[in-house]
Amino acid sequence: MLKIYQGRENIDKEKFIYEHTEGETLVIVPNQYTLVAEEQALKYLNTSCLLNVEILSMNRLGLRMLQEQGTDNVRMLDRYERYMLLARIIRNREKQLDIFRTSAGKRNFVEMVHDFIADFRQQECTREELEEILADPETDELLRKKIRELSGILEEYESLVQGKYKDVEDYVDLYTDAIGKSRELAGKTVWVYGFDSMTAKFVRSLTEIAGERVRHGEPDGFRPGGRADSEHPPFRRREGPDGFRGNPDRRRAGEVGNTKAHRAGSFYPIG
């Protein structure tokens, strides 16, 4: 069952989480927050050692699942290697550029293209969507030219890495596909918190963890950033004494859909 908790900013969410952990628990937090999250867990559990609670980033959990299935030995293209590859692509395409020709030799432009491709792939966009924008008569001509040039760089990048390397976004796809075959989450409760925003790929991973299958890759009432879908509001209207909306006895903000927990586990995202 997927449950979403929502509370005011002044509510101590970490205290709420660790007051309600039962049995084996995984807590998924952003990559740079794992150490602080462990310190908070030790504080609120009033212990010097975490036994049934484990703090992980999504990438670390994904690596563990791939190792479990023996599929972790892949040739990864890291951030710096992708940067160098893009620099070469841009240098070779410089004469084909119009809008970005004067910027092609600058480091900041390579970084901009790198970030564009990373965001493009993390949000699971497609080149077909770019073609739709280009074909739209209302699209600004300057924007159309920029998109056409960036799309050409993106197409060449994807053709060069396809079948040879896996980049960060491909890696997310690998472990997302591995979730359904993994025993790593068996009987465990999963809490997710601390994210200011969530990419489409991240949400798809959460959907797989929750054991939910939906047509567009998003569970009802759940959107990146932990917000509720206005068409499918999952929250009850009562507000408990602790500031969390929902049943004041269970402090449960709501239940989304009629889903089963992944392999008898439970899943608790919190905004």
When comparing pLDDT for 81 and 219, which is higher? 81
Give the pLDDT score at 211: 79
Query: What is the total residue count of the chain?
Result: 271
Name the band, by pLDDT with cuts 50, 70 and 90, for residue 261: very low
**pLDDT, tens digit (0-9, with 9 covering 90-100), for 97-110:** 999 999 988 989 99
β-pairing, 266-269 vs 25-28, is unpaired
Share of the chain above pLDDT 70, in %: 77
Q: Give residue for tokens 């053709």.
A: 159
CA angle 231, 204, 65 (to 5 degrees): 150
Name the band, by pLDDT with cuts 50, 70 and 90, for residue 131: very high
Q: How far is CA 259 from CA 72, 119, 208, 236, 267, in A?
A: 29, 30, 11, 18, 10
**pLDDT, tens digit (0-9, with 9 covering 90-100), for 198-244:** 999 999 999 898 873 332 333 333 333 333 333 333 333 333 434 44
Residues 6+ apart with CB under 8 A from 79: 114, 168
Lowest mean pLDDT among 13-17, 145-149, 158-162, 211-215: 211-215
When comparing pLDDT for 267 and 25, which is higher? 25
Q: How far is CA 123 from CA 18, 116, 200, 240, in A?
A: 31, 11, 5, 35
CA 47, distance to chain mean position in Å, is 30
pLDDT winner (highest mean) among 11-25, 126-140, 178-192: 126-140
CB atoms within 10 A of CB 257: 16
Position 253 pLDDT exceeds 50 = no
Averaged pLDDT for residues 12-33: 90
Q: At 58, list the tokens.
A: 């999504």
CA 66, distance to chain mean position in Å, is 17
Name the band, by pLDDT with cuts 50, 70 and 90, for residue 116: very high
**pLDDT, tens digit (0-9, with 9 covering 90-100), for 154-201:** 999 999 998 888 888 999 999 999 998 888 888 888 999 989 889 999
Cα–Cα distance measured from residue 74 to residue 171, given in angstroms and rounded to the nearest whole number: 9
Averaged pLDDT for residues 139-161: 94
Averaged pLDDT for residues 108-126: 93
Q: At 79, list the tokens.
A: 């951030």
3 within 8 A of 247, measured Cβ to Cβ: no
Give the pLDDT score at 266: 57
Long-range contacts of 215-223 (CB under 8 A, 24+ apart): 217/124, 219/2, 219/256, 219/257, 219/259, 220/256, 220/257, 221/4, 221/254, 221/256, 221/257, 222/2, 222/4, 222/256, 222/269
DSSP state, residue 5: B
